């Protein structure tokens, strides 16, 4: 037995791959790879092992930033946990969401759609008018819905998160990568959120007046056969950059992945692929120079250092 233990000790000592720490070594689980081999374009990111609830990789995970339409995942969670009738027809009403002024939408004001379909297009296709309408038709009204979003964030331990509206159009909807991993963990417990956020495309039928519109998922990864995605939401505004949160599997383990403030239309998806490649092979592709420049100018690393110092 002693000989076997010695041999195993030598194997781990020389391989190092299972014991190499990630970016935030003090708080992470034993990492599968060397974090220095992973380069990402996003300003903030976090990868969590959902079997152990331990962080595998993180980069500036505690910086408070706008989260754009990732906000709609909390909108969906609040709607689902209110146990309202999903078959009830509700009208499109954005009167309580001033952020919607001047924002284009194909959805006609005052037309009607069942609550389930309204939730579908809010989550799958990030339809802002649908998200605002869900909040308007919440028990107690719009203000009660926003209060419920913040109460849920508090209940989940999302201490750096705050919402002022349900769509994510406001840059005052803020959170951190670490907080959003908690939101993902809560959302994955609801099968309806898995179904709606991962629907690839759907044509829905409105009434008053009668018309149909086709919608597609804003997360391109749901169309890729080699990605097993359980929950997902994207987001983009100029202040927030491109954002992506999802629950999937990497190296045969369930993980929650948060990517915030990435440059470019496809950079957040590329970062997800880089992180997955790093987990599964130990290697990742390089980050384009323009994305590196954007990341340097945002300087979330400097803000993360400030968060760490303040917490001491």
- Please determine, for residue 12, whether its predicted confidence score (pLDDT) is greater than 90: no
Mean pLDDT in residue range 260-270: 92
Print burial letters for 241-274: b (CB count within 10 Å at least 16), e (below 16): bbbbbbbbebeeeebbbbbbbbbeeebbbbbbbb
CA distance 311 to 221: 36
- Most confident range, picked from 3-17, 278-292, 295-309: 278-292
Residue located via tokens 């990341």: 295
Pick the more confident residue, 307 or 298.
298
Residues of the binding site: 233
Q: What is the pLDDT of residue 297?
A: 82
Q: Choose the catalytic residue: 58, 59, 125, 126.
A: 126
Indicate the SS3 state at residue 257: strand
Print burial letters for 294-311: b (CB count within 10 Å at least 16), e (below 16): bbeebebeebbeebeeee
Could you give the percent of the chain with pLDDT greater than 70? 87
The verdict on whether 105 is a catalytic residue reads no
Q: Choose the catalytic residue: 72, 152, 230, 295.
A: 72
Q: What is the pLDDT of residue 32?
A: 55
Please, how many CA atoms are within 13 Å of residue 298, restricted to the half-sphere of its CB?
Answer: 26
Q: Choose the catalytic residue: 42, 58, 69, 284.
A: 69
Question: Out of 3.40.140.10, 3.10.50.30, 3.40.710.10, 3.30.360.10, which CATH number does the structure's domain 35-304 have?
Answer: 3.40.710.10
Mean pLDDT in residue range 212-230: 97
Could you give the percent of the chain with pLDDT greater than 90? 76
Print burial letters for 145-163: b (CB count within 10 Å at least 16), e (below 16): bbebbbebbeebebebbeb
Largest CA distance in the chain: 78
The dihedrals phi and psi of 188, each to the nearest 5 degrees, come to -65, -10
- Please determine, for residue 27, whether its predicted confidence score (pLDDT) is greater than 50: no
Mean pLDDT, the chain, as a whole number? 88
- Show me where the domains of the chain are located: 35-304
CA distance 247 to 194: 9
Mean pLDDT in residue range 276-282: 92
Q: Is 292 exposed, middle or buried (0-12, 13-18, 19+ CB in 10 A)?
A: middle
In the structure encoding, which two tokens stand for residue 103, read together?
Answer: 């924002």
The verdict on whether 125 is a catalytic residue reads no
The verdict on whether 301 is a catalytic residue reads no
- Please determine, for residue 170, whether its predicted confidence score (pLDDT) is greater than 90: yes
Mean pLDDT in residue range 147-168: 98
- Most confident range, picked from 2-11, 159-168, 260-269: 159-168
- Please determine, for residue 279, whether its predicted confidence score (pLDDT) is greater than 50: yes
């Amino acid at each position: 037995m002693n000989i076997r233990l010695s041999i195993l000790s030598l194997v781990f000592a020389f391989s190092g791959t299972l014991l190499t720490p990630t970016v935030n070594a003090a708080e992470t689980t034993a990492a599968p790879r060397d974090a220095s081999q992973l380069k990402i374009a996003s300003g903030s990111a976090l990868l969590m092992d959902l079997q152990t609830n331990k962080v595998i990789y993180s980069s500036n995970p505690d910086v408070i930033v706008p989260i754009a339409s990732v906000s709609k995942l909390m909108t969906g969670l609040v709607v689902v946990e209110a146990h309202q009738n999903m078959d009830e027809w509700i009208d499109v009403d954005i009167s309580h969401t001033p952020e919607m002024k001047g924002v284009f939408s194909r959805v006609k004001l005052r037309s009607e759609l069942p609550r389930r379909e309204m939730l579908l297009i809010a989550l799958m296709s990030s339809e802002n008018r649908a998200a605002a309408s869900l909040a308007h038709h919440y028990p107690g009204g719009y203000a009660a819905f926003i209060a419920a979003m913040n109460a849920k964030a508090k209940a989940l331990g999302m201490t750096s998160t705050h919402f002022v509206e349900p769509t994510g159009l406001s840059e005052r909807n803020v959170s951190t990568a670490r907080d959003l991993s908690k939101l993902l963990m809560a959302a994955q417990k609801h099968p309806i959120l898995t179904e709606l956020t991962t629907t690839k495309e759907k044509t829905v039928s409105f009434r008053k007046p009668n018309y149909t519109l086709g919608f597609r998922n804003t997360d391109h990864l749901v169309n890729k056969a080699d990605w097993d995605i359980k929950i997902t939401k994207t987001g983009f505004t100029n202040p927030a950059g491109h954002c992506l949160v999802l629950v999937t599997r990497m190296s045969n383990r369930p993980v929650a992945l948060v990517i915030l403030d990435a440059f470019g239309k496809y950079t957040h998806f590329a970062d997800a692929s880089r992180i997955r490649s790093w987990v599964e092979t130990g290697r990742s592709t390089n980050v384009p120079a323009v994305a590196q420049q954007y990341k340097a100018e945002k300087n979330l690393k400097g803000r993360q250092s400030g968060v760490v110092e303040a917490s001491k």
